[in-house]
């Protein structure tokens, strides 16, 4: 399999803190690769290292097979586009002028293609409206247009739907799918909004505390996900206590919701919870989703409630 990005035991330290810890991953050509992890798991640090904005402390990475330590990697990066953390746009410029500025910076000989690029990201009718008056979703799409100015075939997006309203999320999803399917652009998306990521990704990498815990395709994830009982109770603390006594595997999703795996004796569970002054509101059989799979993978339990979805 051909990989546009691979890392081998990649590490990045800030003093004694390890933001990346022996991380090894592989992004196949043509994939939409979802990098899944909590805030602070190391997703943005990884993207910054790959983009050359920071140097790794240890380990290695390769872009299109070219080592990050090789001078030729600068040429390989010309085939990449990235939106890291927040879109880099000139707020007092129009969308078209922002793209003209980017074309000039990267040395493109003419402004041909700018109008097509604006149509691609849905900003063709913004006219003289300045970016400071754009919605957050429009700025995100302008950031992607700027990242596409060099005609990359590998796009790195750091939390592209963070803060967007539902309509903005749908528009971003459709744009990413269009870039991947029609332009054959490989996309690496870092995100902690798993419901949306599950609609896009063909491959996943699960990162926790700077370390890649598991890497698999969407098909492999589907096979790995199990049946479970989605349970809503008045308080998941006594529920966790009872499930531990019953030696059942589970994942706590919130203060009132959990997913239970394996055979569940509904009557026995209800009676035991009643003894703990905990009432059952609902129990529904369902398939394990991306969020609960992640929680199970990195350890589950109550400490994982800091994970956003």
Domain hosting 138: range is: 3-222
| 304 found inside a domain | no
pLDDT band at 306 (very low <50, low <70, confident <90, very high): very low
Judge contact between 171 and 137, C-beta under 8 A.
Answer: yes
Within 13 Å, how many C-alpha atoms sit on residue 223's CB side?
Answer: 5
Given a cut of 50, is residue 174 above it in pLDDT?
A: yes
Cβ-based burial of 297 (10 A; exposed 0-12, middle 13-18, buried ≥19): middle
What is the DSSP annotation of 231-256? Answer: EEES-HHHHHHHHHHHT-EEEE-SSS
Q: What backbone phi and psi angles, to 5 degrees, belong to 91? A: -70, -25
308: in domain: no
Q: Is 230 helix (H, G, I), strand (E, B) or coil?
A: strand
Same domain, 237 and 217: no
My answer on whether 257 and 177 are in the same domain is: no
Task: Indicate whether 296 belongs to any domain.
Answer: no
* pTM for this entry: 0.78
Provide the CATH number for the domain around residue 240.
3.30.70
Residue 308 has pLDDT above 80, yes or no: no
Please tell me whether residues 156 and 68 are part of one structural domain: yes
Instruction: Assess whether 30 and 125 both reside in one domain.
Output: yes
Last residue of a domain, one of 207, 222, 237: 222
Task: Give dist(CA 191, CA 212) in Å, integer.
Answer: 14
Identify the pLDDT of residue 300. 54
* Residue 305 covered by a domain: no
Whether residues 28 and 168 fall in one domain: yes
CA 30 to chain centre: 17
Q: Is residue 69 part of a domain?
A: yes
What b/e string do you get for 190-204 counting C-beta neighbours within 10 Å, with b at 16 or more?
bbbbbebbbebbbbb
CATH number at residue 112: 3.40.50.300
Domain final position from 202, 222, 242: 222
Same domain, 127 and 230: no
* Residue range 167-178: mean pLDDT, rounded: 92
DSSP collapsed to 3 states, 136-176: HHHHHHHHHHHHCCCCCCEEEEECCCCCCCHHHHHHHHHHH
Per-residue pLDDT, averaged over 289-293, amounts to: 83
Q: N- to C-terminal Cα distance for the chain?
A: 32
Our count of domains for the chain comes to 2
Residues 168, 97 within the same domain: yes
126: three-class secondary structure by DSSP: coil
pLDDT in tens, 137-166: 999 999 999 999 999 999 999 999 888 888
Nearest residue to 290 (alpha-carbon basis) of 264, 304, 309, 262: 309
Same domain for 25 and 52 = yes
pLDDT single digits (tens) 58-77: 999 999 999 999 999 999 99
Tens of pLDDT, residue by residue over 14-36, are 999 999 999 999 999 999 999 99
Sheet of strand 80-83, all strands in order from the earlier edge strand to the far edge: 80-83, 154-158, 186-191, 32-36, 203-208, 211-217
Same domain flag for 147 and 261: no
Of 179, 195, 222, the position where a domain reaches its end is 222
Average pLDDT of the residues in 101-111: 92
Rounded distance between C-alpha atoms, residue 34 and residue 207, angstroms: 10
307 touches 252 (CB < 8 A)? no
In this structure, the answer to whether residues 203 and 231 fall within a common structural domain is no
Within-domain flag for 295: no
**Residue 166 belongs to a domain:** yes
- Which tokens go with 44? 């943005």
CB-CB neighbours of 188 under 10 Å = 26
What pLDDT shows up at residue 1?
A: 84
- Are 178 and 274 part of one and the same domain? no
Residues 164 and 244 in one domain: no
Residue 81 lies in a domain: yes
Q: pLDDT tens digits, residue range 184-209?
A: 999 999 987 888 899 999 999 999 99
Above pLDDT 70, what percent of the chain?
96
Phi, psi of 23 (to 5 degrees): -85, 125
Taking the C-alpha atoms of residue 152 and residue 289, their distance in angstroms, rounded to an integer, is 32
């Amino acid at each position: 399999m051909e990989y546009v990005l691979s890392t081998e035991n990649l590490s990045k330290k800030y003093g004694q803190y390890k933001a990346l810890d022996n991380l090894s991953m592989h992004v196949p050509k043509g994939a939409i690769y979802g990098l899944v992890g909590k805030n602070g798991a190391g997703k943005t640090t990884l993207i910054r290292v790959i983009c050359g904005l920071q140097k790794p402390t240890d380990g290695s990475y390769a872009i299109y097979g070219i080592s990050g330590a090789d001078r030729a990697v600068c040429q390989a990066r010309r085939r990449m586009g990235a939106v890291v953390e927040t879109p880099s746009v000139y707020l007092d410029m129009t969308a078209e002028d922002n793209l003209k500025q980017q074309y000039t910076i990267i040395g493109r000989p003419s402004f041909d293609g700018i109008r097509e690029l604006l149509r691609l990201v849905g900003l063709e009718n913004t006219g003289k409206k300045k970016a400071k008056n754009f919605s957050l979703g429009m700025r995100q799409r302008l950031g992607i247009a700027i990242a596409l100015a060099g005609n990359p075939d590998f796009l790195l997006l750091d939390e592209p739907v963070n803060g967007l309203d539902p309509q903005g999320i749908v528009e971003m999803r459709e744009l990413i799918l269009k870039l991947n399917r029609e332009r054959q652009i490989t996309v690496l998306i870092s995100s902690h909004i798993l419901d949306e990521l599950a609609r896009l990704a063909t491959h996943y990498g699960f990162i926790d505390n700077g370390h890649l815990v598991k890497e698999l395709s969407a098909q492999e994830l589907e096979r790995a996900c199990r049946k479970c009982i989605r349970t809503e109770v008045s308080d998941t603390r006594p529920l966790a206590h009872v499930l531990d006594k019953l030696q059942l595997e589970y994942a706590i999703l919130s203060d009132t919701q959990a997913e239970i795996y394996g055979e569940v004796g509904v009557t026995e569970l209800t009676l035991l919870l009643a003894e703990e002054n905990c009432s059952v509101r609902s129990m529904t059989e369902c398939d394990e989703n991306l969020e609960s799979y992640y929680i199970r993978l990195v350890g589950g339990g109550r400490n994982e409630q800091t994970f956003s979805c």
